[in-house]
Structure 1
Amino acid sequence: MELSQNKKSFSINMVIIYILCILLALVSIVPFYIMFINATRSTPEIQSGLALLPSTHLLSNWNVLLDKSFNPFKGFLNSFIISGGTTLCAVYFSALTAYGLVAYNWKLRQPFFTFILCVMMIPAQASAIGFYKFMYQFGWTNNFLPLILPAIASPTVVFFMRQYLLATLSTEIVEASRIDGAGEFYSFNKIMMPIMMPAVATQAIFVFVASWNNLFTPLILLTQRDKYTLPIMVSLLRGDIYRTEFGSIYLGLSLTVLPLFVFYFLLSRYIIAGVALGGVKE
């Protein structure tokens, strides 16, 4: 009797959990769905209220984008170059730094990690003026390099990679590779990187999304129209004094979001394993 009651209560709890998960999924999906629907609607239709079915103004909204000098192909290419380069630099060099913090026992290891944690507390906006002046003196304004190279020093990614290595790294593997005569970089690239792939994929998603959506830094460094990223182009769509075409704005936002969905679904299977193992404490 008691066993059947336990099974019944367990079933009720599972039903409640599934209902909550479905509600949370709907809360997450509905804003994107409305954005895609509004991309097919005209400005008067959007201002009239919410709709759940697509309209017939997708082509006209696309023409409005092109009339406003919105070049989605150029913006996509610029954003992809910056986000791709940022992601590669961040995940590789952060993994290399984390490997040095875990695999080697050197005197200043803990103070160095403490310094990395302190850097995490500094917001990017606090150093924006100095960073712009520094890049201006280098002649790197209207250049993609200052948007890519700083990703080499990504304290948040280093912290995550270190936590992951603390849970997964076996020093016997490193010592065995050294005994076999493998160099340090060879051991890292051929042995450690495959082991760290779940963490690398997880952080690659986060870094790529953050770089793709970044508006602040590109806006202060890029002034030439042919260097604009998609977020900058979308932010300029509301520059019309007399009329704001909300349908074209939603279409521009949809074009900005679509690559993120593709990138996320390609690597999403690594997220649960990466976050679970990376969150292990010492």
Structure 2
Amino acid sequence: MLPRPKTEDGDFPWWLVAAGLLGAFFLWTMLGSALYTQVLTTLSRGVGVTVFVTVVSFFSACVIGLGLAMASLSDSLFLRQVARFYVEIVRGLPMIVLLLYVAFVIAPALVAGVNHAFGWLGLDPVRTRDFPLVWRAILALTIGYSAFIAEVFRAGLQAVDEGQIEAAKSLGLGGWFRFRLIVFPQAMRMILPPLGNDFIAMIKDSSLVSVLGVLDITQLGKVMAAGNFRYFETYNVVAFLYLTMTVTLSLLLRRFERGMRRAGQQPRD
């Protein structure tokens, strides 16, 4: 009989020790080098833009994704088909194609639509350049990830036991109260891990906004490397910053998941 594999939670995190030692060595090297220090100082200004784009896009995508999931599970055939159309079309587009399409096709069309709708007020027309590139990038990431997050929400909502819903109906709870008090809290325990993975993936995909000239970490790295031709040092720092954010967030999410798992296993009075 094959030995039973150990669970990941039961293993000593040697990988984390190795990563921590490597990160400490690299940080010590950066702080001891004038060039690395200059690169790190310059690229650190893009961390705020990366975090802002990621957080706003992710929470906007969660709101839209939840709406799509509820539409795909509704009794209306029209809503189900519209939600499925949106999810399948958007998921079939590469993120960078969607980013360029939103930035240079949808954004100008939105501006033209606003000018047409409110032109009768006599206001100065809005120019396409007035739609900041950072918000075009946020809109594109929101549209792209909302399709994936919709499937996460749908799977989590469908995983709730039907007996729980029937019990809530027998207590006289309406649809909204059943969703808010019974279905959604139970579904969130299953939804949080994949949502955390999507958030980490969005941090990495936010680097694509550099193609629009948004001054995030990647764009600042491209500009700096093009100016000093020190590609090795510059992209070492770019990788270090992204790894620091993603690994730290991954550890926090695992700790949060374990806490929720233990809370769910505690006996209730």
Q: How many residues align?
A: 234
Provide the TM-score with structure 1 as the length reference.
0.63
**Change beyond 3 A, Cα 1:117–1:134:** closer
Shift of 1:168: 0.9
Distance 1:169 1:63, change over 3 A: farther
Query: 1:218 is matched with which residue?
Result: 209
Query: Aligned residue for 2:78?
Result: 108
Measure, in 2, the Cα distance between the counterparts of 1:67 and 1:91.
34
Aligned to 2:193: 202
Cα 1:220–1:142 change in 2 (3 A) is: farther
Q: Relative to total residues, which structure has the larger helix share, 1 or 2?
A: 2
**CA contact 1:80–1:212 (8 Å) conserved in 2:** yes
- Does the CA contact (< 8 Å) of 2:72 and 2:83 recur in 1? yes
Structure 2 gap segments, 5+ residues each: 112-127, 262-269
Q: CA RMSD in A?
A: 4.0
Q: Does 1:265 align with 2:259?
A: no
Quote the residue 1:81 is aligned against: 52
Distance 1:262 1:75 in 2: 18
Q: 2:135 corresponds to which residue? A: 145
* Residues 1-282 of structure 1 mapped to structure 2, 5 A cutoff: 9-10=1-2, 13-14=3-4, 17-18=5-6, 32=19, 36=23, 39-40=26-27, 57-61=29-33, 64-66=36-38, 70-72=42-44, 74-102=45-73, 104-108=74-78, 110-115=80-85, 116-134=87-105, 137=108, 138=111, 139=128, 142-150=132-140, 151=142, 154-168=146-160, 170=162, 171-172=165-166, 175=169, 179-180=172-173, 184=176, 188-189=179-180, 191-215=182-206, 217-223=208-214, 228-240=215-227, 242-246=229-233, 249-268=235-254, 269-270=256-257
Cα deviation digits, residues 216-251 of structure 1 (max 9, x gap)? 64113335xxxx2223333444324554452x5423
Q: In structure 2, what is the equivalent of residue 49 of structure 1?
A: none
Q: 1:65·1:252 contact (CA, 8 Å) conserved in 2?
A: no
Rate the CA distance shift 1:181–1:66 in 2: closer, same or farther, 3 A: same
- Structure 1, unmatched stretches of 5+, are 1-8, 41-55, 275-282
Query: Could you state the TM-score of these two structures normalised by the residue count of structure 2?
Result: 0.66
- Higher relative contact order, structure no. (Cα contacts within 8 Å, ≥ 6 residues apart): 1
Deviates more, 1:235-244 or 1:150-159: 235-244
Aligned identity (percent) is 12
AA of the residue aligned to 1:261: V
Whether contact under 8 Å (1:39, 1:249) holds in the other structure is: no
Partner of 2:48, secondary structure, is helix
